[in-house]
């Protein structure tokens, strides 16, 4: 047998994830190096805080290590799976830190982070790209209401209070945004237009 060994850095993502699950230090190190910038980029885009983004990135790799055995390639690539974990942890971290109402300019920045940021390349999964594009095409008021309800988990009453609008208007905005997204994402053109 020759001493030829396939370079670890050229292994497919799935093989590195398997190595991470088994605790192989070389494969785990290569896995982290391959995805660290992408994971940190997602965390930073959502949290807009370097320390919090670093914490989220660390938690992302810990969660990937603990749950590597449940990864299912039929549901998306390793990169998509990992960046989805990072995104969800970042959103949770922002929610946990938020104790006072969000300023309008901060919500606009978050909306921009969800629709047009480095997250686009990190969450390159076709479905998430289509969803971000559809949200970006919504009227700004509807998109803001949707983000407050969907990402921050606010009720229509809380949205109305934060936006300074009647409760019925808040409900209408969320409902209209959801209906437009459903129509856009269900259409054969997959988001060619939103009315």
3-state secondary structure 61-90: HHHHHHHHHHCCHHHCCHHHHHHHHHHHHH
Tell me the two tokens of residue 147. Answer: 């983000």
- Give helix 25-47 / helix 50-67 axis angle, nearest 10°: 140
Low-confidence ranges of the chain (pLDDT < 50): 1-4, 116-119, 121, 123-124, 189-195
Alpha carbons 157 and 168: distance in angstroms, whole number: 9
pTM: 0.50
Q: Are 111 and 144 a contacting pair, CB within 8 Å? A: yes
Alpha carbons 66 and 163: distance in angstroms, whole number: 40
State the pLDDT at residue 190.
41
Give 47's contacts (C-beta < 8 A, 6+ positions apart).
53, 56, 90, 93, 94
User: In the chain, what are the helix, strand and coil shares in percent, each to the nearest 5?
Assistant: 75, 0, 25
* Residue linked to tokens 């070389």: 26
State the pLDDT at residue 165.
93
State the pLDDT at residue 112.
63
State the pLDDT at residue 194.
44
Closest alpha carbon to 150 in 126, 182, 169, 177: 177
Instruction: Note the pLDDT tens digit of each residue in 113-135.
Output: 655 444 454 544 555 667 778 88
* Residue linked to tokens 């990402």: 151
């Amino acid at each position: 047998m020759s001493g030829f060994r396939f370079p670890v850095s050229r292994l497919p993502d799935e093989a590195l994830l398997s190595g991470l699950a088994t605790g192989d230090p070389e494969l785990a190190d290569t896995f982290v190096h391959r995805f660290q910038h992408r994971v940190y980029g997602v965390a930073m885009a959502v949290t807009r805080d370097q320390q919090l983004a670093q914490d989220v990135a660390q938690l992302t790799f810990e969660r990937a290590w603990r749950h590597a055995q449940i990864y299912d390639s039929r549901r998306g690539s390793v990169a998509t799976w990992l960046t989805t974990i990072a995104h969800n942890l970042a959103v949770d971290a922002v929610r946990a830190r938020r104790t006072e109402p969000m300023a309008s300019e901060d919500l606009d920045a978050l909306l921009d982070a969800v629709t047009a940021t480095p997250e686009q390349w990190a969450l390159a999964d076709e479905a998430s790209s289509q969803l971000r594009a559809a949200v970006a095409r919504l009227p700004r008021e509807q998109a803001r209401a949707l983000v407050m309800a969907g990402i921050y988990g606010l009720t229509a009453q809380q949205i109305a209070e934060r936006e300074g609008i009647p409760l019925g208007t808040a409900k209408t905005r969320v409902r209209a945004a959801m209906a437009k997204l459903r129509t856009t994402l269900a259409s054969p053109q997959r988001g060619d237009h939103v009315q």
